[in-house]
Structure 1
């Protein structure tokens, strides 16, 4: 039963808020994994990550917090079996002068900006591997260190290889890398791929012009194909049969005319479909209206967009303040809820949404919940509005939805479909 003290959502249809956690006073959440009844929540401003016992979803309990290394953020993580992989990178938002303004972060190459700033190398860059056989007490067993800003996001669902977006010295921004996990105590970076123009050390020059950012946000892998989203650089399909030497299948970019921010892929291999979410990165649709695109990928060398998800319209969200548009998609991970017709997404100031794509040409919204605004602001960036900004979403095998926010903590939601 939901607790009576829960703040009523601003809007709900076919979804019910049943639990909430302020994550031990660290209400800023980004990526989360729910693993054996525990939520592992990465923090963008509190640094480090927290562990929340969600076995009673109506009464989640924060049971541990692991501090990030100095000047480092741990904003993304992955769990599988007894392993937890956590990224390490320079805490970019701590640099008020260079990166706190959103346009400064989203509209130029981060590697170039860091190189120009000539930071002291006082952060940890790469990835840490933990043993989480004791769920509440991660034990560090492995470390992969790289020269550069560090990793951004990971994909690991078991097996020999993990995949990451990595900003290495000599590159303008984050690129695709493969990681050999045969020995998780000694992970090894074994392969790289980047868009032409990103390898500054090799003398490559960008072709995309000022005001755009070509950078891998992340890639999901199915079989021997990596589906990779490159912010203003669009989408690539990569053949990773040889993990040491990924090869391009197709590069497809719709920026311009659309506003970029290509962020989250979701392959639906049983239907030869691919979903791609473009992230809204500026307030009040200043970067244009953003979409979740549905691609037909029967011919991987020629992905065709056949529809977009409907846009939330209960109110004029573009005028609400903050970002309005897609952010993340539930990723159909092994051990979580898996469907090729029911999709869950965060829509930032429009909360959490469910969509039925049984007919991929006509996606239909089937549920929504917009949590109440945060009671406290943890986001340190100046001038941020006090509104919900739903960040990441995870759906467990029972169909319970877990969603983070940049300030408002962890929401646990029942879907009525």
Structure 2
């Protein structure tokens, strides 16, 4: 029996507007919307797709760009008529990582074999640049920057400077790198920062447990400060006034006693606040409750946690199966929806949650939408179940939210509160 893909399992102050199967490649990670087209990185389909969303109620697949063998394009950024796309190891196509814990409980450099310099590998690694201005919806590759082990995620909102999490030969895990985009056809590294203990090839020794993932997910840069989400190492605040020499302002970590996995660190304009997401990465609540935190960062040298977002309370999602907990938030990019009080977040099997942080000490849920179960699984790893896994969210300047899923395609929805 066909499922009604436009009938949510739960909705409060939100409604579904449209849905796309992304040309049959329903798996999605990061989504960017630019000039009426959604660009979606895939987790299992080895590449990225383009969806025409000029009519949000009837989105149409518009194209697909395949990645090289053993390579994924999970994350991307769009601005200035350009699309930046990561090239990295297609981790979940490797039988060694069929159990996600084997990836998330090990240093990436060790797991992928890059901690030792010049060790051979079978994937394409670096940063690809596409022209999406000449013919919107039809990306044309114009540049590439090789990075020895690959890139995980990018922060780039246009202009000269991009910021990436890079896996380099000789380092234990992903580090912070600034990239000069002044010549888009030839992006080049400008500077880098790694936590002490990460540069294994230089004789540094990690001070943390081998099971802790001390690697940068990505940083969001506001002015001359980079707010780095360093997975199990928590928050790393960096001074990037000199893009060629990033410097540490403060490293603070709350794991333990909390569960780690820091994924996003979003500064809230004009309020001296930072919204910090700890990502849930394992099925069946194995990694416990992950939080979305609010920090006071009036003094960037002393970030102070002041609240956490309330977890979904409309049902017991901890026993629903698959991943439960935060994954991503809308990051207030220039040109998109920007708010200092509304936070849009994805909670995987609990769908999308919207929070009002007008009172930063008492955030409250004001909207929710849990899409229906997917029609089938794109994730072919053993033991996976057809359960919604809302992944990334991008909210355009009109207020429409574009939400990806590991298996269910692209949902377009609207907050009506």
Same fold (TM over 0.5): yes
Q: 1:104 aligns with which of 84, 102, 105?
A: 102
With normalisation by structure 2, the TM-score equals: 0.97
Counterpart in the other structure of 1:204: 204
Point out where structure 2 has 5 or more consecutive residues left out of the alignment. none
Counterpart in the other structure of 1:47: 46
Cα distance in 2 between the residues matched to 1:120 and 1:64: 33
Give the stretch that moved more between structures: 165-174 or 280-289: 280-289
Counterpart in the other structure of 2:410: 410
Counterpart in the other structure of 2:358: 358
Q: State the Cα distance separating 1:102 from its structure 2 match.
A: 1.0
SS in structure 2 of the partner of residue 301 of structure 1: coil
SS in structure 1 of the partner of residue 325 of structure 2: coil
User: Would you say the 8 A contact 1:6–1:19 is kept in 2?
Assistant: no
Cα distance in 2 between the residues matched to 1:319 and 1:261: 21
Cα distance in 1 between the residues matched to 2:244 and 2:97: 33
User: Would you say the 8 A contact 1:356–1:363 is kept in 2?
Assistant: yes
Q: State the Cα distance separating 1:213 from its structure 2 match.
A: 0.8
Give the stretch that moved more between structures: 208-217 or 222-231: 208-217
Q: State the Cα distance separating 1:37 from its structure 2 match.
A: 0.9
SS in structure 1 of the partner of residue 191 of structure 2: strand
Counterpart in the other structure of 1:144: 145
RMSD: 1.4
Count of matched residue pairs: 412
Cα distance in 2 between the residues matched to 1:312 and 1:30: 22
Point out where structure 1 has 5 or more consecutive residues left out of the alignment. none
1:264 matched to 2:264? The reply is yes
Matches within 5 A, 1:1-400: 6-96=5-95, 98-115=96-113, 120-133=120-133, 134-148=135-149, 150-400=150-400
SS in structure 2 of the partner of residue 179 of structure 1: strand
User: Would you say the 8 A contact 1:234–1:255 is kept in 2?
Assistant: yes
Q: State the Cα distance separating 1:287 from its structure 2 match.
A: 1.3
Q: State the Cα distance separating 1:380 from its structure 2 match.
A: 2.6
Cα shift readout 1:40-93 (whole Å, capped 9, x = no counterpart): 000010011000001111100001000011221000000002100000011111
Q: State the Cα distance separating 1:394 from its structure 2 match.
A: 0.4
SS in structure 2 of the partner of residue 270 of structure 1: coil
With normalisation by structure 1, the TM-score equals: 0.97
Q: State the Cα distance separating 1:6 from its structure 2 match.
A: 3.6
